Amino acid sequence: MSKIDLEKRIRKIIKKGDEYDKLEVKCSYDLSQKRDRIRLVKCIAAIANSDSTYFDNTGYIVLGAKRGKLVGGFDALDKDSTSANIHNWVRDYIEPKANFTVERFNDPKVGWWGIIVIPPSFETHVFRKEYSDQKLTIRRGDVYVRDGDSTILAEKPDHDRLQRRKFQNTIDKFESKIESLEAKIEEQKSVQPDLKLYFTDEKNNLYEELEVYPFIIEKTSEEYLSELSEDKDIREIENELKNLRNEIDTGKRQGISISIEFNR
């Protein structure tokens, strides 16, 4: 989505005052204060840990707005370094780091405002460091998710969902690899030479009649398969299949049940 289309979408959302589970509209973050920086990091991680049927599962944090109105005044976005700082704060406190982008806008009426765009994730983003003051406490290992328009600590159903989506992503990768390997194998089959059968009679006259007996074969099946095994492309495919089976065995040990049948 282009920056212009993104701005139009978010302005429309702000105006309607709609609420989504992966949307946070804020005008109160003071990025000069560590507590607010941690609050922002927590929100980014929570949205990355959540799933939604809206907007292709993409999350948004709108800075310099409140429901129903764009208020601007988010002057920190005037600095090019703000985006890099937000990335550094998330990297410092969250593992694995959540992916996101920061888009800045300068409205002639209200000034600076912005959007943090958080694409879908298949990881579980966990706090790796603690933070505590009189109003906010973060513990190492905390996992946050979105519940409506609130950010809350993950409970068992949330952890189960996060585990399932990671496994599903692994399975999807396996299936994609298998389809690619099968396509390569079919391509190889299409260029394989046909076997030619030749037959001789008792006087060693050569025929191509199936009824003639005894007969000899120009290439035995063992010789033909041996040539195939020496083919570079086939070896590469077999190595990829071997690596893939190792990955699947790892997945099985984590509770994934997958079976593959491969016939050449």
- Structure confidence by residue, pLDDT tens digits, 48-92: 999 998 889 999 999 999 888 999 989 999 998 999 999 999 999
C-alpha 53: how far from chain center = 16
Which range is least confidently modeled, 15-29, 31-45, 57-71? 15-29
- CB under 8 A, 24+ apart: contacts of 12-18: 13/60, 13/62, 14/62, 14/65, 14/67, 14/68, 14/69, 14/70, 15/68, 15/69, 16/68, 17/67, 17/68
Distance CA 167, CA 156 (A): 17
Share above pLDDT 90 across residues of the chain, in percent, rounded to a whole number: 51
Using the predicted structure, report yes or no on whether residue 242 has a pLDDT greater than 80.
no
Residue 180, both tokens: 């690619």
pTM: 0.67
pLDDT at 204: 73
pLDDT in tens, 204-226: 776 555 443 444 445 555 665 56
| Residue 240 near residue 179 (C-beta atoms within 8 A) | no
Query: Alpha carbon of 232 to those of 1, 34, 204, 241, 245: distances in Å?
Result: 42, 58, 38, 14, 20
Q: Which residues pair with 144 in a beta bridge?
A: 153
Distance CA 151, CA 170 (A): 27
Fold of 3-154: 3.30.950
Which range is least confidently modeled, 140-144, 184-188, 219-223, 258-262? 258-262
Element (DSSP H or E) covering residue 184? helix 156-190
pLDDT at 232: 57
| Residue 76 near residue 82 (C-beta atoms within 8 A) | yes
